[in-house]
Every structure is written in structure tokens, then in C-alpha cells.
Amino acid sequence: MIAEDEALQLVRKTSKYDHALVVATLMEKLAATLNENEQEWKLVGLLHDLDYDEVVNEMKRHGIVSAERLKGKLPEHCIHAIMVHDHRTGLTPKSRLDKALIAADTVASLIEKTETQIEKLEVDALRVKLENASLGQSWYKSNLMQVEEIGLRLEDFLHLCLDVLKTTKSTKNSNPRRY
């Protein structure tokens, strides 16, 4: 399996670096909560948008190009999660890992689009933002509802994400290796 440092090097060159760090952090904590493999889930979060810059004008290939590139570097079930994480491919998520990545990716995108500082963002406000975002793009809600299929209530998932990101941000400067 690819080493974390090597994965970081790959992602650091992309425009999705900061986003990838957030999704990796969320995925690691989700794995801990769900008794899954923390290292694998973290790497999946880190690498899920590896091909983004390359396929930005052809999003139906998003994740599929990464999957090809990561063959042999990650277990097959991890590559599958990366391959199916974007609805525009038309591929179907199946495993807990597939669904967790979709939900973590979506909540990260939602938070990135808000202007409120993360320290001041609360679950109720995030829910309102989710409802508003879903009016134009219904996949926001359907993506996030995947968490209920892996044993988490949406409310609990949003709490977990905000708690993780608030904690991480406050410790980021004191330990740059943490994300």
C-alpha cells in the first residue's frame, strides 16, 4: 500500500490539496467511529481527487482516471471508493467505504462554500446551508444521506464533522504534520 508521505506528495501538486486534507481527516475519524481501517480510509480521503485537474472539463471520468493511476498502490476496495465517489460517472457506491467517502466529500464541499468561519459554524446553520444547496443541486442531500446507510444519523454525522474540523484547525499550526 502507498505510504502516506508518497500520497501527500502526489496530492500536494493538485489544486485540491487543502480539500483532500480535510476529507482525509474526516475519513480517518469516520473509520474510528465505525470501527473500520483508519489508515485505509484516510488514504482514500487524501487521494480521492487526484485526477481532478486533469478531468475538470470531463467530469464523467472523475475518479476513474485516479483509479487507473492508483492500481497496485491501494487495495481494490479503496480504489473502488475513489472510482465511484462522483455521481457524474454514473457508477454506484456499494460498500460502507464508498458511501462514507461520498458523504465526507460532500460535507467538506459544503463547508468550503460557506463564508462562516469554521469555529463559528454550528450544525443548525450547516443544515440550512445543506437545504439551500440542495434546492439547486439535489445531489447534495442524497450524497449526505448515504451516512444513514452506514449506521450514522445525519445529525450525528454533521456534529462529528464539525467537531473534527474545529479541533484540527486549532492544532494545525502547532503540528504541521497533522491534518
**In the complex, which residues of this chain contact Fe ion (CB under 5 A)?**
49, 86, 105
Q: Which is nearer to Fe ion, 91 or 175 (CB)?
A: 91
Neighbour count for residue 92 (Cβ, 10 Å) = 8
Q: Which is nearer to Fe ion, 88 or 153 (CB)?
A: 88
**CA-based nearest residue to 2, from 36, 35, 34, 50:** 50
Burial of 120 from C-beta contacts in 10 A (0-12 / 13-18 / 19+): exposed
Cβ of residue 131: shortest distance to Fe ion, in angstroms?
A: 21
Cβ of residue 45: shortest distance to Fe ion, in angstroms?
A: 9
Neighbour count for residue 59 (Cβ, 10 Å) = 13
Cβ of residue 115: shortest distance to Fe ion, in angstroms?
A: 20
Cβ of residue 82: shortest distance to Fe ion, in angstroms?
A: 9
Distance CA 97, CA 150 (A): 9
Bridge partners of 71, per DSSP, are 74
Q: Which is nearer to Fe ion, 49 or 98 (CB)?
A: 49
Q: Which is nearer to Fe ion, 27 or 158 (CB)?
A: 27
Largest distance between two CA atoms of the chain:
42
